Amino acid sequence: MGKPTGFLEYERKDGPVREAGERIKDFDEFHVLLPTKEQMLQGARCMACGVPFCQSGTMIAGMASGCPLHNLVPEINDYVYHGNLEQAYIRLSKTHCFPEFTSRVCPALCEAACTVSVHSDPVSTKENEKSVIEYAYANGLVRPDRPAVRTGKKVAVIGSGPSGLSAAYWLNKRGHSVTVYERRDRAGGLLRYGIPNMKLDKRIIDRRISLMEESGIVFKYGIDVGNDVPADELLKEYDRVILACGAANPRDINAPGRDAKGIYFAVDFLTEVTKNLIDAGYDHTKILDKKDFSFKSLRGKSVVVIGGGDTGNDCVGTSIRLGAASVIQLEMMPKPCEERAANNPWPEWPKILKTDYGQEEAIFLFESDPRVYQTTVTEFVKDKKGNLTSVKTVRLAPKKDDATGRMQMVPVEGTEGELKADLVLIAAGFLGSQKYVTDAFKVDINGRTNVATAEGAYATSRDRVFTAGDMHRGQSLVVWAISEGRSAAKAVDESLMGYSLL
């Protein structure tokens, strides 16, 4: 696929990115596409390798290698190379219902497994897919897909995050009548409220939701199933129910002073900022005054982010846009290598240092990397009024546990420190499903508090109740959630019809 010698002739070239000093002034997306002719040359770099790991979605050494959706990557890249973006879209849509989301927020598992990356930069598959889906939207190729025949079966999907939306999309396409219940005021789950606007413009979500509604999917907002609506009532009304409520329990930091004012979970912080943007009618042609936000106290304030992952990086970028005077990001683990280690060969996921947009912006603004590795908080310090003033920290070092043989990060005596902090954002991940939902549906959970199913299956312990996404597999990537939703839809379809065409 692609041009046989393309990977030798053309260097990887990514779409232009707005300069850090400019983009921190607003909440607009800052990564744009190459012109079509230049994007075609990027498709040409796909080398027709014998085994396309890019589309394998295989677990290697406990990590995914290649796309979990099994997108037909070489074929799509070939169509991009030949400028046939309509056929590229047709190929892409066979496996992927929401490429406009993953082409913006996915860490590109496909590219990490690209054969070209063994000795060069990988094929820019993620940007190729973005060019395909945006071309499809611009040229009227993405249309409502109302099925010609309805099966008479009704399915309720609880949660409108990527897994719930994916399940709803495929079940509706099959002909079942689907209703999506969302406890918030808008659809999208963490796509909308957990990912900042500058990574995923919320109009991109609205564009897709409108098409899904035109296709016959019903969305009901502001309904908290398990509280507002009893589970048994839904099971009487619908033939099947899919629980896709996410891993919604944030991991806490239980240190002295945790009750100080000024400590927030990252998802609550990001949600409020995004909701205020949407409610204010944010227009990408305007720059909103930061005083419009409830977190206006970030002006001139010191922010400490606990957690070194993607959500922590999003907190860094958002805090900068809200006027923070300083931002520090604490990470428990050691600093990753800049290149693959010998024990982390291709096509495993590369455990290497990644400097994301928020960190780049902090480096630009504060002239230093905001990340402090092998460090954790031991105490939150507050004043007499209970307001946070600083955090006490300690350095950590890896040590093997004699009993288990596992490496643990343990405090190093004499390395205590203190950081000024007016606001702390806890971005330490999520722990699993919320108890009131699993209790309402009387479904079994596993040791990680995820909804339990047989391995590789999506049916829960409760008859006619299925599950998908982070609620099923634990905190993961958007692309995995979409894959889970598709697989759960197939399982539901089989249970309803005795076979599946999905």
Give the tens place of pLDDT for each residue, 416-469: 999 999 999 999 999 889 999 999 999 999 999 999 999 999 999 999 999 999
- Whether this prediction's pTM lies above 0.75 is answered by yes
Backbone φ and ψ for 328, nearest 5 degrees, come out as -120, 140
The rounded distance, in Å, linking the Cα atoms of 351 and 337 is 7
The pairs formed by 148-152 with CB atoms below 8 angstroms and a separation of 24 or more are 149/175, 150/175, 150/176, 150/177, 151/175, 151/176, 151/496, 151/497, 152/177
CB distance 276 to 293 below 8 Å? yes
Mean pLDDT of 245-256: 94
Q: State how far the Cα of 272 lies from the Cα of 260, in Å rounded to an integer.
A: 19
SS3 52: coil
- Assigned token pair, 12: 């990887």
154-249+431-497 CATH pick, 1.10.3720.10, 1.10.150.120, 3.50.50.60, 1.10.357.10:
3.50.50.60
CA distance 272 to 425: 13
What residue spans in the chain does CATH classification 3.50.50.60 cover?
154-249+431-497, 263-426
> Token pair of 473, please?
């597999």
pLDDT at residue number 350: 94
Whole-number Å distance between alpha carbons of 271 and 24: 19
Helix (H) or strand (E) holding 221: strand 218-221
CATH 1.10.1060.10: which residues of the chain?
6-138
Average pLDDT of the residues of the chain: 94
pLDDT digits (tens, 9 = 90+) for 195-217: 999 999 999 999 999 999 999 99
Averaged over 244-265, what is the pLDDT? 95
Contacts of residue 381, Cβ cutoff 8 Å, sequence gap at least 6: 257, 260, 388, 389, 390, 391, 392, 418
**Residue 62 in this model has a pLDDT that exceeds 90:** no
Residue 392 parent element (H or E): strand 388-400
Strand partners, 64: 59
Q: pLDDT value at position 294?
A: 53
For 350-401, the pLDDT digits (tens) are 999 999 999 999 999 999 999 999 999 999 999 999 999 999 999 999 998 8
Q: Taking a C-beta distance cutoff of 8 angstroms, is the pair 180, 209 a contact? A: no
Terminal CA-CA length for the chain = 27
Least confident of 71-85, 266-280, 372-386: 266-280
Helix and strand element counts for the chain (H, E):
18, 16
**Class of 263-426 in CATH:** alpha beta
**Region 144-149: what's the mean pLDDT?**
95
Please answer whether residues 390 and 421 qualify as being in contact, where contact means their C-beta atoms are separated by less than 8 angstroms.
yes
CA dist 416 to 57, 275, 372, Å? 43, 38, 13
Topology of the domain comprising 6-138: Fumarate Reductase Iron-sulfur Protein; Chain B, domain 2 (1.10.1060)
Half-sphere exposure of 346 (CA within 13 A, CB side): 17
Q: Is 453 exposed, middle or buried (0-12, 13-18, 19+ CB in 10 A)?
A: buried
* DSSP-assigned letter for residue 116: G
* Residues 319-348, mean pLDDT to the nearest whole number: 95
Strand runs (DSSP E) across 109-164, as ranges? 154-158
305, containing H or E segment? strand 302-306
What's the rounded Cα separation, in Å, for the pair 400 and 389?
35
Are residues 315 and 370 in contact, defined by beta-carbon separation less than 8 angstroms? Answer: no
The pLDDT assigned to 402 comes to 82
